[in-house]
Amino acid sequence: MTQLTALVTGSSRGIGAAIRTALAARGIKVIGHATKAIDAETIGADLTDPTAAARIWETALDRGNGRIDLLINNAGQFQANPIGLSDIEWLDNWEDALRINLTAAAELSRFAVRHWLEGERTGRIVHVASRAAYRGDSPDHWHYAAAKAGMIGLHKTIARQYAAKGIMSYAICPGFTDTAMAGDYLASRGGPGLLADIPLGRVATPAEIATMAVFCALDAPESMTGAVLDANGASYVR
Ligand SMILES: NC(=O)c1ccc[n+]([C@@H]2O[C@H](COP(=O)([O-])OP(=O)(O)OC[C@H]3O[C@@H](n4cnc5c(N)ncnc54)[C@H](OP(=O)(O)O)[C@@H]3O)[C@@H](O)[C@H]2O)c1
């Protein structure tokens, strides 16, 4: 059987690193990505650069010998953007957040869908969105919630429009997960109070989110395409 190739964005640490390890353990050839090329298997490209997504895709295709089967849109950034900043600072932060968390994922999804349609191949996309897509976020994170909600709209559209062509799309909405991203937030907004809001009594682990991502990428039934899976310790039950 042909070995499947996956492109995983934001694979240098946190959830992306766990997904990379878990996919490799299932025999998948994984092409990673981060802001910098930290090793030979990681493509370095800062997603605030509008040329980044195309460069990542072309490099990944090269490394995958012209073939990518799975795209995991995981890279993300969660930086405070208080409304009291100057107009231009606030707008700059908004645009960076939208580009990293939404536009780059949309561009890579477009390249992937075209690749599969043109090659008459099947493929799967897994989007790592956020609980914030449905619940909203803090006063400093309008941009993050808006980007993740946009990602869910993107995901549902791809699922509905390309299922008949064998292209499946799945989305995961983690709540707080034990990575640097959540650590900064919990520290800045009072960890114990926020934890009290999670019936499970703890944040998710990157390995738990990776288990879900691998399931979506390799095992989930095709009929599940378009689904959004929550992982938030019942802190937001829809
Ligand atoms: N942790 C949570 O509580 C939580 C909750 C809900 C959703 N999520 C989502 O889960 C995904 C992974 O989050 P995480 O917690 O694992 O985050 P993390 O530990 O902060 O890692 C973020 C990853 O994204 C990459 N990245 C960030 N900014 C980038 C940029 N401008 N250009 C290219 N790459 C960039 C980082 O690369 P470098 O190492 O090079 O910086 C890193 O690989 C994100 O989409 C996040 O929104 C996380």
Give the model's pLDDT for residue 181.
Answer: 80
- Paired tokens of 125: 């996309």
Give the model's pLDDT for residue 189.
Answer: 61
DSSP at 217: I
Give the model's pLDDT for residue 188.
Answer: 62
Residue from 78, 95, 143, 203 to probe ligand 1 pocket by mutation (most atoms less than 8 Å from CB): 78
Residue from 9, 49, 177 to probe ligand 1 pocket by mutation (most atoms less than 8 Å from CB): 177
Give the model's pLDDT for residue 180.
Answer: 85
Q: What CATH class has 5-231?
A: alpha beta
Active site residues: 144
* CB 69 within 8 Å of CB 98: no
- Give the DSSP letter string of 59-118: HHHHHTTT---EEEE---------TTS-HHHHHHHHHHHHIIIIIHHHHHHHHHHHHHHH
Give the model's pLDDT for residue 65.
Answer: 97
* pTM (two decimals): 0.97
pLDDT in tens, 57-82: 999 999 999 999 999 999 999 999 99
Torsional class of 112: left (φ above 0), alpha (ψ -120 to 50), beta (otherwise): alpha
pLDDT in tens, 24-51: 999 999 999 999 999 999 999 999 999 9
Counting as low any pLDDT under 50, the low residues of the chain are: none
Give the model's pLDDT for residue 8.
Answer: 99
Give the model's pLDDT for residue 1.
Answer: 77
